[in-house]
A and B are shown apart, each in its own frame.
Chain A
Amino acid sequence: DTGVSQDPRHKITKRGQNVTFRCDPISEHNRLYWYRQTLGQGPEFLTYFQNEAQLEKSRLLSDRFSAERPKGSFSTLEIQRTEQGDSAMYLCASSLALPGQYFGPGTRLTVT
Chain B
Amino acid sequence: GIQVEQSPPDLILQEGANSTLRCNFSDSVNNLQWFHQNPWGQLINLFYIPSGTKQNGRLSATTVATERYSLLYISSSQTTDSGVYFCAVDEETSGSRLTFGEGTQLTVNP
Which residue of chain B lies nearest to A91 when distances are taken between CB atoms in the complex?
B43
Which residue of chain B lies nearest to A99 when distances are taken between CB atoms in the complex?
B48
Contact between chains at B41 and A42 (CB < 8 Å): no
Q: Do A42 and B100 form a contact, CB below 8 Å, given A56-B95, A100-B31, A103-B35?
A: yes
For A95, the chain B residues whose CB sits under 8 A away are 96
Q: How far is the CA of A40 from the CA of B86 in the complex (A)?
A: 12
For A37, the chain B residues whose CB sits under 8 A away are 41
Main secondary structure of the interface of A (DSSP, over half): strand
Q: How far is the CA of A98 from the CA of B30 in the complex (A)?
A: 10
For B102, the chain A residues whose CB sits under 8 A away are 40-42
Report if A15 contacts B (CB, 8 A): no
Q: Which of A41, A100, A108 contacts B45 (CB 8 A)?
A: A100
Contact string against B for A residues 72-112, beta-carbon threshold 8 Å, 1 for contact and 0 otherwise: 00000000000000000101010100111111011010000
Q: Do A108 and B97 form a contact, CB below 8 Å, given A99-B48, A100-B33?
A: no
Report if A21 contacts B (CB, 8 A): no
How many A-B pairs with Cβ below 8 Å? 55
Q: Which of A56, A89, A98, A105 contacts B97 (CB 8 A)?
A: A56
Q: How far is the CA of A105 from the CA of B100 in the complex (A)?
A: 17
For A44, the chain B residues whose CB sits under 8 A away are 100
Report if B88 contacts A (CB, 8 A): yes
Which 9 A-B pairs rank lowest in CB-CB distance, beginning with the nearest? A42-B100, A100-B48, A103-B43, A45-B97, A99-B48, A106-B41, A100-B33, A105-B42, A43-B100
Residues in B lying within 8 Å of A, measured CB to CB: 4, 31, 33, 35, 40-43, 45, 48, 86, 88, 95-103
22 contacts between A and B (CB under 8 A): A33-B97, A33-B98, A35-B98, A40-B102, A42-B102, A42-B103, A43-B43, A43-B86, A43-B100, A44-B100, A45-B97, A48-B96, A56-B97, A58-B97, A89-B41, A100-B45, A101-B98, A103-B35, A103-B43, A105-B40, A106-B42, A108-B41
